Amino acid sequence: MNETQSRDLMVELAASLFARGFAVGSAGNISMRVDDGFLITPTNSSLGRLDPARIAKLDHAFHHVSGDPPSKEVFMHRAFYVTRADAGAIVHLHSTLATAVACLPDVNTDNPIPPLTPYFVMRVGRRLPVIPYFRPGDPAMEPAIKAAAPDARAVLLANHGPVVSGKTLLDAVYAAEELEEAAKLYLTLRGSAPRVLTPAQVNELLETFG
Ligand code: 13P
């Protein structure tokens, strides 16, 4: 995929997330690797109406080289890229139900959502650490994400929302969508005692689908 196609795909998928309510206002940001650096959504832009020509471009050292000023959460994306060689794209959302789980004080902060469905496990993986609260744009978030990311494709920022990595932009978007669905199931079933996938079933999924 060349850079023009990457920009167009970012606009298309961001608009799709926005249209379905996974992002509102100017919340959320998306980035992806390209040959000579990274593309990232501009700060204060709406995922619903991105302009491909104005998407910010960063070099390999995460310095802004062109386009509008980048998201104030560049360091949040950088924390995944420098920690996970397999990360080709990052999606950060304030999607309602994943964020609701991130507001619950009594969850397991290593893995707040149990393995209820195969696609949650296949897309998001075995662990979803909850990172303590930092204000949006606080660079102190970076070391906290870096500490968690080697063992996790995604994290939940307390009282803020999910950050999800994927090998490709499509993978990261699909994972963010599955995370929101898993949060919905978890909150729907909270208080009951649902059957969850066994450790052997989780292992089989990860061995089969990676
Ligand atoms: P930016 O507009 O700077 O990307 O910030 C939006 C956001 O989601 C903060 O967490």
What is the rounded average pLDDT for all residues in the chain? 97
Percent of the chain with pLDDT strictly greater than 70:
100
Per-residue confidence (pLDDT) for residue 85, from 0 to 100: 96
Indicate if 174 belongs to the active site. Answer: no
Residue 155 has pLDDT above 90, yes or no: yes
Indicate the pTM of the whole model.
0.97
Among the listed residues 3, 81, 119, 186, the single catalytic one is 119
Ligand 1 centroid – CA 132 distance (Å): 18
Q: Which tokens hold the place of 180?
A: 């929101």
Q: Write out pLDDT tens, residues 16-54.
A: 999 999 999 999 999 999 999 999 999 999 999 999 999
Residue 110's pLDDT band (cuts 50, 70, 90): very high
Indicate if 177 belongs to the active site. Answer: no
Q: How many angstroms separate the CA atoms of 153 and 155, rounded?
A: 7
SS3 120: helix
Residue 210 has pLDDT above 90, yes or no: no
CA dihedral of 175, 8, 15, 73, whole degrees rounded to 10: 60
Residue 110: domain span: 3-209
Mean pLDDT calculated for residue range 75-83? 98
Look up residue 191 and give its amino acid. G
- CATH number of domain containing 31: 3.40.225.10
Residue 113 CB partners (closer than 8 Å, separation 6+): 101, 120, 128, 179, 182, 183, 186
Contact 160, 172 (CB under 8 A): no
Residue 131 has pLDDT above 90, yes or no: yes
Q: Which tokens hold the place of 195?
A: 């059957």
How many domains does the structure of the chain reveal? 1
Ligand 1 pocket, 188 CB below 6 A?
Answer: no
Among the listed residues 73, 142, 178, 180, the single catalytic one is 73
Ligand 1 centroid – CA 22 distance (Å): 14
Position in ligand 1 atom list of the atom nearest CA 160: 10
Residue 8 has pLDDT above 90, yes or no: yes
Q: Which residue's alpha carbon is at the smallest distance from atom 8 of ligand 1?
A: 28
